[in-house]
Amino acid sequence: MKDKLTPRNIILCIAICSLPWFLIGIDEISSLLDQYRINFGWPGAGYILRIIVRACLYMLLAIGLNVVCGFTGLLDLGYVAFYLIGGYTAGILMSLLDVHYLIALPLAVVHATAWGLVRGIPTLRLTGDYFAIVTFGFAELFFRIVKNETWLTGGVPNGQLRGVPAPTIPFTSISFDLNWHHYYHIIILLALVVFVTYRLQNSRVGRAWVAIREDEQAAESMGINVGRYKSLAFAVSAAIGGIGGAFLAQFQVSFSAQFFEFWESIFILCMVVLGGMGSIRGAMLGAAILGSLGEILRVALSKYPEIAGSRMLLFGLILVLLMRFRPAGLMYKKT
Amino acid sequence: MWAQYFEQFINGLVQGGIYALIAVGYTMVYGIIQLINFAHGEIYMFGAYFGLILITVFHIPFWIALPLAMLLCALLGMLIDYVAYRPLRTAPRLSALITAIGISIALQNLARMFWTAEPQVYPTDSLPSIFVSGLNDMGEVINVIPLPGGGTLPYRDVFILLIAVALMIILNLLIYYTRIGKAMRACAQNAVAANLMGINANRVILATFAVGSALGAVAGVMVGLSENVTPTMGYYKGVAAFAAAVLGGIGSVTGAIVGGLLIGLAEAFGADFHSGYRIAFAYIIMILVILIRPTGLFGKATSKRA
């Protein structure tokens, strides 16, 4: 998908943009038909749209993680830390301090970026598994902090934040709280992130990252300032995580520390690896599959209650099988 | 004051013994195939359930159920390696990592299907009586060792500590004084060279999984003696044990033991300070150790691994 306006891309854009109307239309028709025909037990359009929004959010996060994991080749097991920082920064600002979303979002991004840099400085000289483990410990510490510091969330235990207000258009009372609002919201954020990462990937910066991934010492001797480019990768990755978190805060309305457990990092990492490390399209594909697979299995298995409990079991097995037959990811590009 | 610290210290040692037992499984597998075996926490959880099922459903005495649970877990560990990890030996390392995660999710939900998510406990009436501490009919505290300062140490904890120490000694003997142990060390140093010397690497890896999983099963049964058994127990203990393995220097068995004890102690004293941050102290120590000495306490410096 080169960034050119070919007819195919235009059609794709129109299809993506008109999806909510299409879904809501289907929902209307089926609810009309329901009066005459048997209900097939199809899920409603709002539900489908929410799954799609969730998948898009995961796409955004997967792209962000891909910057560190795929481009610079450092295994990050604690990406959820930035998601958490973005989510809580925006959530606390909006629900407890009544800050507008358009101010809270950039603040959340700045906050996450700052922590990305702070985490980056001591870990610059670490490679491979040791880097992974420090990132993991870092994320766990943040998880503990929001779980235990109840004063952060207005005295509610377990890091629970309730009633994050929907963003409004400034100076009006029109608020964005419907599912299709969320859909366009995340599509805009996602488009922005995809654009920025594509431009970065195909620039001097992106080539420097790949050089660092392939051989750090060779890159250094070619005159690449490894520390600076690694820090830049951490900052970009953390900023994207912050955007995701801020979106989650207003999308979810109320959330708790449980949203940011260690498994969430692993889940996002799975998307990146499944799609093929270092490929933006791969990360998006992986996120679309894994981000919706759980819900798809829930709907698909709802007709068979005896095996409905095995949803996550199937999820795990699908992961194993995918890795067994496509060990380098679905969209692996040889470099 | 000091008596209280002493009690914390003993508790930390007991917890640390359990962590050491689990951490050894992580570190041994990592030492040979450079894989963070996320499914190991689930093997430990299955160990706890196997023990529970053998005791409650099959009415097998505890002293026989424990080795049986070890055997079953060893088989489970070998099965996982054979089915899931072996085909990926030559694949990128991250694919094996994702496979481990997939296995972990699958096992956790398998346990949920078999035994429900309800917390279960080992029935006190079918355990050996010395493990049942508390008040008897006369209102006397039984089966405990009094500690200075009024605290008590149940026999159960003494047993956990003793068996952990005993198993660690046996493990060290196994690694340093047997043929298979020698083969394990050879594979950990250089798998290709070991293969050229006529060592069947796949068999050695299977043995590694069996030993690590059996030790995990012991930890599971031990924890079952005093805590609830749930499908998610493997996650929490597994993460901490993994931190222990890293702290000691991943790949080093001695390191895993020392790391386990340190994490256990950090948790015990951390709980004193703030119970919610119990495990956080372990992570802080782990991060500091890596930043100051990136190979962990006992790890050897290795060449760069991407």
pLDDT digits (tens, 9 = 90+) for B233-283: 888 788 888 888 888 887 788 888 888 998 888 888 877 777 777 777 778
- What is d(CA A325, CA A273) in angstroms, rounded to the nearest whole number? 13
- Measured between beta carbons, the chain A residues lying within 8 angstroms of B91 are 323, 327-328
Domain boundaries, chain B: 2-129+155-244
Distance from CA of A214 to the nearest CA of B (A): 9
Token representation of residue A91 = 């959530």
Task: State the pairing for strand pair B141-142/B152-154.
Answer: unpaired
- A269 and B98 within 8 Å at the Cβ level: the answer is yes
| Residue A112 phi, psi (nearest 5) | -60, -40
Q: Can you tell me the mean pLDDT for B75-84?
A: 93
Please, how many CA atoms are within 13 Å of residue A329, restricted to the half-sphere of its CB?
Answer: 28
- What is d(CA B32, CA B204) in angstroms, rounded to the nearest whole number? 9
- A140 and B294 within 8 Å at the Cβ level: the answer is no
- Measured between beta carbons, the chain A residues lying within 8 angstroms of B108 are 312, 316
Q: Can you tell me the mean pLDDT for B183-188?
A: 88
| Residue B123 phi, psi (nearest 5) | -65, 130
pLDDT of A15 reads 80
- Measured between beta carbons, the chain B residues lying within 8 angstroms of A137 are 243, 283-284, 286-287
- What is d(CA A151, CA B285) in angstroms, rounded to the nearest whole number? 26
pLDDT at A1 over 50: no
pLDDT of B177 reads 92
- C-alpha distances in angstroms, B290 versus A19, B142, B278, B285, B286? 49, 44, 20, 9, 6
Task: Kindly state whether residues A30 and A61 are assigned to the same domain.
Answer: no
Give yes or no for a contact between B135 and B158, defined as CB atoms under 8 angstroms apart: no
- What is d(CA A92, CA A87) in angstroms, rounded to the nearest whole number? 8
Q: What is the ipTM of this complex?
A: 0.79
Domain count, chain A: 2
Collect all residues from A whose CB is shorter than 8 A from any CB in B. Answer: 73, 75, 122-123, 125-130, 132-134, 137-138, 140-141, 144, 147-148, 216, 262-263, 266, 269-270, 273-274, 277, 309-313, 315-320, 323-324, 327-329
Q: How many of the other CB atoms lie within 10 Å of CB of B139?
A: 6
Cα-Cα-Cα-Cα torsion B92, B93, B95, B96, nearest 10 degrees, comes to 130
- B113 and A141 within 8 Å at the Cβ level: the answer is no
Q: Which of A140, A267, A325, A332 to mutate to test the interface with B (most CBs of B within 10 A)?
A: A140
Task: Kindly state whether residues A128 and A215 are assigned to the same domain.
Answer: yes
- A127 and B109 within 8 Å at the Cβ level: the answer is no
* Closest C-alpha to A278, from A193, A209, A205, A203: A209
pLDDT digits 0-9 by tens, B87-97: 888 877 778 88
Task: Kindly state whether residues A76 and A92 are assigned to the same domain.
Answer: yes
Beta bridge partners of B142: B134
B135 pLDDT band, cuts 50/70/90, is low
Lowest mean per-residue pLDDT among A72-86, A133-147, A204-218, B115-129: B115-129
Task: Kindly state whether residues A193 and A54 are assigned to the same domain.
Answer: yes
pLDDT at B229 over 80: yes
- A316 and B102 within 8 Å at the Cβ level: the answer is yes
Whether A300 is covered by a domain: the verdict is no
Task: Kindly state whether residues A119 and A57 are assigned to the same domain.
Answer: yes
- B280 and A138 within 8 Å at the Cβ level: the answer is no
Lowest mean per-residue pLDDT among A100-109, A110-119, A123-132, B32-41: A123-132
Task: Kindly state whether residues A169 and A26 are assigned to the same domain.
Answer: no
Distance from CA of A175 to the nearest CA of B (A): 38
Task: Kindly state whether residues A106 and A5 are assigned to the same domain.
Answer: no
- What is d(CA B303, CA B36) in angstroms, rounded to the nearest whole number? 18
pLDDT at A43 over 70: no
Lowest mean per-residue pLDDT among A118-132, A223-237, A288-302, B290-304: B290-304
pLDDT at A222 over 80: yes
Distance from CA of A317 to the nearest CA of B (A): 6
pLDDT at B166 over 80: yes
pLDDT at A57 over 90: yes
Of B113, B279, B284, the CB nearest to A313: B113
Task: Kindly state whether residues A27 and A66 are assigned to the same domain.
Answer: no
Distance from CA of A253 to the nearest CA of B (A): 25
Percent of chain B with pLDDT over 90: 24
- A73 and B306 within 8 Å at the Cβ level: the answer is yes
3-state percent helix, strand, coil for chain A, nearest multiple of 5 = 75, 0, 25
- A148 and B274 within 8 Å at the Cβ level: the answer is yes
Position with higher pLDDT, A85 vs B132: A85
- Measured between beta carbons, the chain A residues lying within 8 angstroms of B280 are 140-141, 144
Of B91, B107, B235, the CB nearest to A327: B91
Q: Which of A71, A126, A130 to mutate to test the interface with B (most CBs of B within 10 A)?
A: A130
pLDDT at A332 over 70: no
Lowest mean per-residue pLDDT among A63-77, A304-318, B50-64: A304-318
Q: How many CB pairs under 8 A join A and B?
A: 128
Task: Kindly state whether residues A5 and A139 are assigned to the same domain.
Answer: no
Give yes or no for a contact between B118 and B53, defined as CB atoms under 8 angstroms apart: no
* Closest C-alpha to A332, from A293, A283, A259, A297: A283
Domain assignment of residue A251, given as a range: 50-262
pLDDT digits 0-9 by tens, A85-115: 999 999 999 888 888 889 999 999 999 999 9
Distance from CA of A148 to the nearest CA of B (A): 6
Percent of chain A with pLDDT over 90: 25
Q: How many of the other CB atoms lie within 10 Å of CB of A35?
A: 7
Percent of chain B with pLDDT over 70: 93
Last residue of a domain, one of A262, A290, A315: A262
Lowest mean per-residue pLDDT among A114-123, A268-277, B42-51: A268-277
Distance from CA of B91 to the nearest CA of A (A): 6
Task: Kindly state whether residues A38 and A3 are assigned to the same domain.
Answer: yes
Lowest mean per-residue pLDDT among A3-7, A122-126, A232-236, B150-154: A3-7
Q: Can you tell me the mean pLDDT for B156-162?
A: 87
- Find the length of chain B: 306
Task: Kindly state whether residues A4 and A118 are assigned to the same domain.
Answer: no
Task: Please tell me which residue of chain A has the smallest CA distance to B107.
Answer: A313
Task: Please tell me which residue of chain A has the smallest CA distance to B236.
Answer: A262
pLDDT digits 0-9 by tens, A151-164: 877 777 777 888 78
pLDDT at B139 over 70: no
- B280 and A126 within 8 Å at the Cβ level: the answer is no
Give yes or no for a contact between A58 and A290, defined as CB atoms under 8 angstroms apart: yes
Task: Kindly state whether residues A126 and A226 are assigned to the same domain.
Answer: yes
pLDDT of A309 reads 64
pLDDT of A278 reads 81
